[in-house]
């Protein structure tokens, strides 16, 4: 398995997990309240799940779908990183969003080539 395929696998699993957590976890509900984004939680969950599914289907069916999904997830996570910086979360709390943003930026870049 090459690094690109591993990145797609890691990202799709992470976003399937976090998307479901956003929908059903009380902890994530509390986090979105803390972020001041209570109304955006369900939308964020659906965007995460859609992006993860897009990465998976795109890998097997359509490189363009992978590119769009990865770019969208990257944007979503850069925004999430920005929110965490804005509310003054620690680096350790903010780092997962930045890492996922960079992983998806890498995937989008590779599929854009």
For position 60, what pLDDT does the model report?
97
Per-chain mean pLDDT for the chain: 97
Cα 39–52–29 angle (5° rounding)?
25
The pLDDT tens digits of the residues spanning 22-58 come to 999 999 999 999 999 999 999 999 999 999 999 999 9
Predicted confidence band of residue 1 (pLDDT cuts 50, 70, 90): confident
The pLDDT tens digits of the residues spanning 56-88 come to 999 999 999 999 999 999 999 999 999 999 999
21 sits in which H/E element: helix 3-24
């Amino acid at each position: 398995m090459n690094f690109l395929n591993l990145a797609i696998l890691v990202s799709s699993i992470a976003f399937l997990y976090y998307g479901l957590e956003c929908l059903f976890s009380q902890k994530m509900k509390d986090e979105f309240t803390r972020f001041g984004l209570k109304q955006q939680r369900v939308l964020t969950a659906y965007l995460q799940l859609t992006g993860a599914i897009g990465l998976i289907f795109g890998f097997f069916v359509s490189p363009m779908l992978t590119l769009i999904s990865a770019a969208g997830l990257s944007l979503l996570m850069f925004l999430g990183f920005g929110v965490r910086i804005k509310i003054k979360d620690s680096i350790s709390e903010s780092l997962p969003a930045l890492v996922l943003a960079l992983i998806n930026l890498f995937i989008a870049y590779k599929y854009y080539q």
